[in-house]
Amino acid sequence: MGAVAELGELTILVGRMIRTLPKLHKTLRLTLVQMNEMGVGSLPLVVVTSFFTGGVAAVQAAYQFQGWIPDKFVGSVVGRSVLIELGPVLTGLVVGGRVGASIAAELGTMKVTEQIDALEALAIDSIRYLVLPRFIAGAVMIPVVTIFANALAIFGGLLAAVGSIGMSTGTYIEGLRFFFEMSDVWSGMIKSLVFGAIIALMGCYYGLQTSGGAEGVGRSATRAVVSSCLLILISDYILAEFLFSWLFAE
Amino acid sequence: MSEREIALSVRGVEKSFGRQRVLRGVDLDIYKGESLVIIGPSGCGKSVLLRHLIGLHEPDAGSVHVNGVDIAHMNRSSLYEVRKKFGMLFQNSALFDSMTVGENVAIGLKEHFNLSRAELHKTALVQLDLVGLADAVHKRPSELSGGMRKRVALARTIAMDPEIILYDEPTTGLDPITADVINNLIRSLQKRFHATSITVTHDMVSAYKIADRIAMLHKGQIIYEGSVHEVQTTDNPYVKQFIHGTAEGPVTAA
Ligand SMILES: Nc1ncnc2c1ncn2[C@@H]1O[C@H](COP(=O)(O)OP(=O)(O)OP(=O)(O)O)[C@@H](O)[C@H]1O
Ligand SMILES: [Mg+2]
């Protein structure tokens, strides 16, 4: 299918989903189930990734400073880069892979086994019942997971700073507070909200497009992951421009 | 006979998938409260036709009227209102495998009515009892045999007391005794609740038992309509070949 046609289909899906928003209350329980699955289910993965990301950021910063820049700025670099970039983007990519693939595979299987038609035949709007809860859960839970990931990454940076660079905890925290800006936190949150929406939407879109049995389900899962990763990176750039030259411009 | 009210009216329905023309101008009337059986060779488009009747497919051309309103070009929310009058049994059951058997049966009631968990459970049990599967209420669809799944799907189909019921091969894959239980159930729903029923089947024993009228779909068109007696005594070579199940004749596999 051509890119224009895909964009059209995607717009239709989003349009239909927005029209089901007034019935969100009927879908609350399903949304909570999805939130639990996306949030709690992603924690082990996020703990490991963010912990090491923070550690690597600290070690890299110290290496590049090469003694020319005071050690306390290791904390500043880790703090800001995690809050603005590393936390939201890496969480988006890692959790996006996991969540996007599972949404696409689940909806894809439902599609090829006619379960989605069965919902529709029972006069249940499949978009309201399946897509809306996943979208809301993605847009809410990816930011929540990102907050958690940010904290862990900064903590991972501290451990690396103390353990392998030989800094004191006080120095690291001093650097962390020195350049801290609340707008960094907000811009990271806005990004991760967009990333969460992208992940859920790609999963649902490719899931619902599935045809052709088990093979088709696999193809949809791959497409969902690849496209959400690409869109996360592209939108990260666009958002960086937008957030820092408009919204949080000094 | 001409006074009878029409429940569903299909006019000139055409449907292609890619370059494959499946329905090529189907005309069919289905009267309120009757039981119509649609027969036809495998792959001729019977399931596709059923899906048009409930708006799961949109025809490329033609119209489908339900109680006088065209559903083929209707907005989504009105279509859902129309669908509430329908029940559809899918050929491959299409049970929700993330739910228990009981939840599968009760999902329509749960979504459309304000019922307590206890009431939903009770209704599910009543429906499952009709198909002899009350014991399976807490099982998952993946734990059931093919025939059991079909019966659960049947219980789900009739749970909301539909006015019009579409059955896609209700007895395929069932043993003859269970098949007869299902035939009786289809008949009694139609007789007792005046449900209009449209059944696709290859099983001629079942067709003769449940049909008021039989229609044959072949090469994308309805080529024959008649009562059970007319079908059994017809000279139509297509129908004769189909009901006697012979490989030689005008009907070739699609
Ligand atoms: N969603 C679809 N996309 C593409 N082709 C389809 C689709 N659904 C059905 N077809 C094609 O339409 C034709 C008719 O299919 P249908 O399922 O209606 O057959 P059927 O008469 O129900 O056969 P059977 O008795 O074997 O169930 C088949 O050739 C099938 O390949
Ligand atoms: Mg079929």
Lowest mean pLDDT segment, chosen from A156-170, B101-115, B213-227: A156-170
pLDDT at B29 over 50: yes
Distances, alpha carbon A198 to alpha carbons A49, A203, B18, B60, B207, in Å? 21, 8, 31, 33, 50
User: Looking at CA atoms only, how far is residue B80 from chain A in angstroms?
Assistant: 5
Share of chain B above pLDDT 90, in %: 81
Predicted complex ipTM: 0.93
Q: Does this model's pTM top 0.80?
A: yes
Distance B36 CA to ligand 1 centre (A): 20
At A165, the pLDDT band (50, 70, 90 cuts) reads confident
At B3, the pLDDT band (50, 70, 90 cuts) reads low
User: Looking at CA atoms only, how far is residue A131 from chain B in angstroms?
Assistant: 16
Interface of B with A in 39-58 (CB under 8 A): 51, 54, 56
Say what the pLDDT of residue A6 is. Answer: 87
pLDDT at B2 over 60: no
> What is the arithmetic mean of pLDDT over B216-237?
94
- A116: closest CA among B51, B94, B33? B94
Say what the pLDDT of residue B193 is. Answer: 83
Helices vs. strands in chain B: H and E counts, helices first: 9, 10
Which residue, by CA, sits nearest to atom 31 of ligand 1?
B43
Tell if the CB–CB gap between A125 and B80 is shorter than 8 Å: yes
> pLDDT (tens digit, 9 = 90+) per residue, A214-235?
999 999 999 999 999 999 999 9
Tell if the CB–CB gap between A122 and B107 is shorter than 8 Å: yes
Ligand nearest to the CA of B19: 1
Say what the pLDDT of residue B226 is. Answer: 95
> pLDDT (tens digit, 9 = 90+) per residue, B102-124?
999 999 999 999 899 999 999 99
Q: Is residue B97 part of a domain?
A: no
Q: Is residue B64 part of a domain?
A: yes
Lowest mean pLDDT segment, chosen from A64-78, A158-172, B68-82, B87-101: A64-78
At A1, the pLDDT band (50, 70, 90 cuts) reads low
> pLDDT (tens digit, 9 = 90+) per residue, A50-75?
999 999 988 888 888 877 888 888 88
Q: Tell me the two tokens of residue B195.
A: 């449900």
Say what the pLDDT of residue A180 is. Answer: 83
Distance B40 CA to ligand 1 centre (A): 12
Closest Cβ opposite residue A123 in set B51, B80, B94:
B80
Q: Is residue B161 part of a domain?
A: no
Max intra-chain CA distance, chain A? 69
User: Looking at CA atoms only, how far is residue A27 from chain B in angstroms?
Assistant: 10
Q: Is residue B20 part of a domain?
A: yes
| A chain contacts of residue B111, beta-carbon cutoff 8 Å | 26, 122-124, 129
Total tally of structural domains belonging to chain B: 1
- B200: closest CA among B29, B28, B15, B46? B46
Say what the pLDDT of residue B253 is. Answer: 62
**Residue A146 DSSP symbol:** H
Which residue, by CA, sits nearest to atom 19 of ligand 1?
B43
User: Looking at CA atoms only, how far is residue B107 from chain A in angstroms?
Assistant: 8
Q: Does B115 touch chain A (CB under 8 A)?
A: no
> pLDDT (tens digit, 9 = 90+) per residue, A4-17?
888 999 999 999 99
At A182, the pLDDT band (50, 70, 90 cuts) reads confident
Q: What is the CATH number of the domain that holds B213?
A: 3.40.50.300
Closest Cβ opposite residue B56 in set A110, A113, A120:
A120
- Given strand B61-66, what is the order of strands in its sheet? B20-31, B6-17, B61-66, B69-70
- Give me the domain span that covers residue B212: 1-85+205-254
> pLDDT (tens digit, 9 = 90+) per residue, B144-159?
998 899 999 999 999 9
Residues within 6 Å of ligand 1 by CB: B 17, 22, 40, 42-48, 91
Share of chain A above pLDDT 90, in %: 64
Ligand nearest to the CA of B45: 1
Q: Is residue B166 part of a domain?
A: no
Residues in chain A whose Cβ is within 8 Å of chain B: 16, 26, 110, 113-115, 117-125, 129
Share of chain B above pLDDT 70, in %: 98
pLDDT at B207 over 60: yes
Say what the pLDDT of residue A250 is. Answer: 61
> pLDDT (tens digit, 9 = 90+) per residue, B7-19?
999 999 999 999 9
Q: Tell me the two tokens of residue B127.
A: 């429906």
Q: Which atom of ligand 1 is nearest to the CA of B45?
A: 18
Q: Is residue B162 part of a domain?
A: no
Q: Does B88 touch chain A (CB under 8 A)?
A: yes
Cα–Cα distance measured from residue B112 to residue B106, given in angstroms and rounded to the nearest whole number: 10
Say what the pLDDT of residue B163 is. Answer: 94
pLDDT at B132 over 80: yes
Say what the pLDDT of residue A179 is. Answer: 83
> What is the arithmetic mean of pLDDT over A146-175?
90
At B1, the pLDDT band (50, 70, 90 cuts) reads very low
pLDDT at A26 over 90: no
Distance B39 CA to ligand 1 centre (A): 14
Ligand nearest to the CA of B20: 1
> pLDDT (tens digit, 9 = 90+) per residue, A116-133?
999 999 999 999 999 999
Cα–Cα distance measured from residue A155 to residue A52, given in angstroms and rounded to the nearest whole number: 10
Tell if the CB–CB gap between B108 and A124 is shorter than 8 Å: yes
Q: Tell me the two tokens of residue A104.
A: 């696409």
Say what the pLDDT of residue A181 is. Answer: 85
Sign of the CA dihedral A7, A9, A15, A21? Answer: negative
pLDDT at A192 over 80: yes
Q: Is residue B173 part of a domain?
A: no
Q: Is residue B129 part of a domain?
A: no
